[in-house]
């Protein structure tokens, strides 16, 4: 048997162990293949990859197969930064040598983007990996990850889910790899039931499921659910000693165990994922209701501060946004802090398109009812009670409203430490001010505080706040720079963007003192006069330009993501991908009217959108007059 055949055999065995979740077996097979590939032990992984890529005896796909496995082993052992550096180096080297991409490279890039919570970029790589995938394992693992990316982006996933089910039916359910994929589907189904408030189905499935090992995700989902006070009748016994022994498990499960125990370590907080952090804050808020000493207030405060630092750099998924919003609402109930001052910061971070999640919506209505009950407004209380009883979840026989209310009342009685949280959140709140002559601008949170008719008001507008922060530093800036910094549009067009600049300045003039003049002249925006009485705040980050402007983007003026400079925005890619995922083939033709139905947009909006896509080369216009049709370009969105 030739050495090349042996290398392929060991790599295939390593992939089989990888798909079965056996880390050590996969690593051993990978080391055997590495020895046959004659890698020097004294060189770095990047140098080893370069050497293998330049070797005439090793096929390109085989080298990238080794790369993908080694990256996975590094990630499973907590060396995420090393794995990302290796994959990025491999991609740069591949491009420089003129090699085409392949499944292994695109899948690993998608996985790393997924871990960074950059779901839009991850979906791009998963779709490319799906085109390169060959064989059952590659197709299955790509479809599974694509499913989660679509869910996080709020895009339709039904077609992908059906394709995944059809693929699994091709092999017997007793196969070990098939069991792993069914476990992945069970996790996905559990998440849908949780969002829909069907908790009894989640717990019922856990009793009859084959996947009850502490090493599998459904087990941890059920343990997390059992921590909430309104699930007391479903609670499963889990001694702290048993959980403590699991803290040495693989990183994902060790984090879950420490979350349930109310423990956090410095190492994991330095490399924590935003999704896990939102889960921890939401769960710890509920555990705090039941026991004010576990976890400590200082730990929860650190988590919230870290959440805002991380969230300024990425875009939130719908679930993360809802969990944080509800956590802040509970803080409002027990501390008296107006939730608007906390959720205003959260909303300025601009999540992905929000989807309605039944359970979070139901819990939010319960919170409204409890807050009004504390205030004693009987008329509003009766109105909210009618809305609450009309909610679909309140009509089920097995609902948790009574447990929720009783748990809240007992928590209020034994939890005086909640009120001390007010002082500990000062660095997340906009400072109070009482001078009617002052205007306080916070570009980080995207809000402006001012007085109008003797009443303090707050304007939530990241564009307005960033515009004032910019003009306070530089009195004269070009329209292009102003548009890029304040409005988030990297490609400036005077005919399109000047009206928006005029509109923004007109709104600002109504807030500013009379001796401070704003205007536009000869392609420049200027501010003349005294800035006395206008205070610019910056608390959470030093670079206020990193804050994203809130609100949905205009279809005719799709803005760039202020997270990092990109040639194509994630809003554009998501809209373009939504059309393809709705059932259109890549080379099929469609009319404008069909696109209006798919996107539920007006004729004018779709016309502008198609003109924009045509300029970028994403679609090609065919025919004339009433026979105009559009065809997707051969190349996908970059």
Please report which confidence band the pLDDT of residue 425 belongs to, taking 50, 70 and 90 as the band edges: very low
Please report which confidence band the pLDDT of residue 494 belongs to, taking 50, 70 and 90 as the band edges: confident
Who wins on pLDDT, 269 or 411? 269
Same domain, 540 and 597: no
- Which of 427, 448, 473 represents a domain boundary (last residue)? 427
Angle among Cα 614, 617, 620 to the nearest 5 degrees reads 60
Same domain, 283 and 401: yes
Q: Which of 207, 212, 145 is nearest to 181 (CA)?
A: 145
C-beta atoms surrounding 212 within 10 Å = 12
For residue range 313-350, what is the model confidence (pLDDT) as tens digits? 666 777 788 888 888 877 777 666 565 656 666 666 65
Number of domains in the chain: 4
- For 577-592, what is the mean pLDDT? 58
Same domain, 377 and 461: no
- Flag whether 164 is in a domain: yes
Same domain, 533 and 621: no
Same domain, 152 and 8: yes
For residue range 259-295, what is the model confidence (pLDDT) as tens digits? 776 777 777 777 777 777 888 888 787 766 666 556 5
Question: What residues make up the domain containing 590?
Answer: 570-632
Same domain, 52 and 12: yes
Question: What CATH number corresponds to the domain at position 25?
Answer: 1.25.40.10
For residue range 216-254, what is the model confidence (pLDDT) as tens digits? 555 666 666 666 655 555 555 555 555 555 555 556 667
- Flag whether 206 is in a domain: no
Same domain, 506 and 600: no
The pLDDT of residue 447 is above 70? yes
Who wins on pLDDT, 545 or 304? 304
Same domain, 102 and 13: yes
Same domain, 272 and 189: no
Rounded Cα–Cα distance for residues 608 and 111 (Å): 34
Same domain, 449 and 409: no
- DSSP three-state, residue 440: strand
Q: Which of 469, 460, 441, 445 is nearest to 551 (CA)?
A: 460
Same domain, 385 and 409: yes
What kind and span of H or E run contains 631?
strand 629-632
For the chain, the helix, strand and coil percentages under 3-state DSSP, each to the nearest 5: 65, 5, 30
Whether pTM exceeds 0.85:
no
Same domain, 514 and 593: no
What kind and span of H or E run contains 248?
none
- Flag whether 11 is in a domain: yes
Question: What CATH number corresponds to the domain at position 514?
Answer: 1.10.10
pLDDT of residue 426: 39
Q: Which of 354, 259, 276, 360 is nearest to 310 (CA)?
A: 276
- DSSP three-state, residue 623: coil
- Which of 173, 195, 217 represents a domain boundary (last residue)? 195
Segment 7-14 long-range contacts (CB within 8 Å, at least 24 positions apart):
7/33, 7/36, 7/37, 7/58, 7/62, 8/62, 10/36, 11/62, 11/65, 11/66, 11/69, 14/69
C-beta atoms surrounding 478 within 10 Å = 13
Which residues on neighbouring strands pair with residue 630, listed in sequence order?
590, 621
- Flag whether 230 is in a domain: no
Please report which confidence band the pLDDT of residue 435 belongs to, taking 50, 70 and 90 as the band edges: low
- Flag whether 200 is in a domain: no
């Amino acid at each position: 048997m030739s050495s090349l055949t042996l290398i392929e055999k060991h790599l295939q065995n390593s992939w089989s162990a990888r798909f079965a979740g056996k880390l050590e077996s996969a690593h051993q097979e990978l080391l055997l293949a590495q020895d046959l590939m004659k890698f020097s032990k004294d060189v770095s992984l990047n140098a080893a990859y370069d050497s293998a890529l330049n070797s005439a005896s090793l096929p390109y796909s085989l080298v990238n197969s080794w790369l993908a496995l080694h990256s996975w082993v590094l990630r499973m052992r907590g060396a995420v930064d090393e794995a990302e550096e290796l994959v990025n180096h491999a991609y740069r080297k591949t491009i420089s040598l003129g090699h085409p991409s392949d499944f292994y490279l695109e899948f690993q890039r998608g996985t790393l983007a997924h871990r960074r919570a950059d779901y839009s970029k991850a979906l791009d790589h998963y779709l490319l990996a799906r085109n390169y995938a060959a064989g059952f394992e590659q197709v299955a693992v790509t479809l599974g990850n694509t499913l989660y990316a679509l869910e996080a982006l709020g895009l339709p996933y039904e077609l992908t889910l059906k394709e995944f089910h059809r693929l699994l039916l091709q092999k017997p359910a007793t196969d070990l790899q098939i069991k792993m994929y069914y476990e992945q589907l069970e996790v996905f189904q559990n998440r849908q039931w949780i969002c829909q408030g069907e908790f009894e189905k989640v717990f019922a499935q856990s009793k009859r499921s084959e996947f009850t090992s502490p090493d599998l995700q459904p087990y941890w989902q059920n343990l997390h659910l059992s921590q909430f006070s309104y699930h007391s009748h479903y609670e499963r016994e889990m001694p702290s000693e048993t959980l403590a022994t699991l803290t040495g498990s693989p990183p994902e499960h060790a984090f879950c165990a420490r979350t349930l125990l109310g423990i956090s370590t410095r190492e994991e907080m330095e490399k924590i994922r935003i999704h896990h952090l939102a889960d921890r804050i939401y769960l710890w808020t509920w555990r705090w209701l039941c026991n004010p000493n576990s976890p400590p207030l200082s730990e929860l405060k650190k988590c919230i501060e870290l959440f805002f630092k991380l969230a300024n750099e990425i875009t939130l998924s719908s679930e993360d946004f809802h969990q944080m919003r509800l956590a802040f609402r509970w803080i409002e109930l027990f501390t008296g802090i107006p939730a608007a001052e906390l959720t205003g910061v959260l909303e300025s971070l601009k999540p992905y398109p929000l989807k309605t999640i039944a359970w979070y919506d139901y819990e939010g209505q319960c919170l409204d009812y409890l807050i009004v009950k504390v205030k004693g407004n009987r008329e509003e209380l009766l109105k909210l009670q009618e809305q609450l009883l009309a909610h679909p979840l309140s009509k089920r026989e097995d609902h948790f409203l009574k447990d929720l209310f009783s748990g809240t009342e007992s928590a209020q009685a034994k939890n005086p430490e909640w009120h001390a949280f007010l002082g500990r959140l000062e660095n997340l709140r906009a400072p109070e001010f009482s001078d009617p002559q002052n205007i306080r601008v916070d570009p980080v949170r995207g809000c402006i505080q001012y007085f109008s008719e003797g009443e303090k008001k707050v304007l939530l507008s990241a564009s307005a706040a960033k515009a004032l922060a910019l003009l306070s530093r530089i009195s004269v800036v070009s329209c292009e720079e102003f548009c890029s910094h304040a409005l988030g549009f990297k490609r400036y067009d005077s005919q399109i963007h000047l009206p928006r600049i005029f509109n923004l300045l007109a709104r600002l003039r109504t807030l500013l003192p009379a001796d401070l003049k704003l205007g536009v002249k000869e392609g420049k925006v200027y501010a003349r006069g005294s800035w006395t009485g206008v205070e610019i705040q910056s608390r959470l980050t030093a670079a206020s330009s990193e804050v994203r402007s809130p609100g949905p983007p205009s279809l005719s003026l799709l803005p760039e993501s202020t997270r990092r400079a990109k040639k194509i925005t994630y809003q554009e890619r998501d809209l373009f991908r939504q059309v393809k995922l709705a059932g259109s083939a890549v080379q099929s033709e469609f009319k404008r009217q069909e696109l209006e139905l798919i996107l539920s947009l007006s004729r004018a909006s779709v016309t502008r959108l198609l003109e924009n896509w045509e300029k970028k080369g994403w679609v090609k216009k065919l025919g004339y007059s009433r026979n105009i049709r559009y065809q997707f370009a051969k190349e996908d969105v970059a």
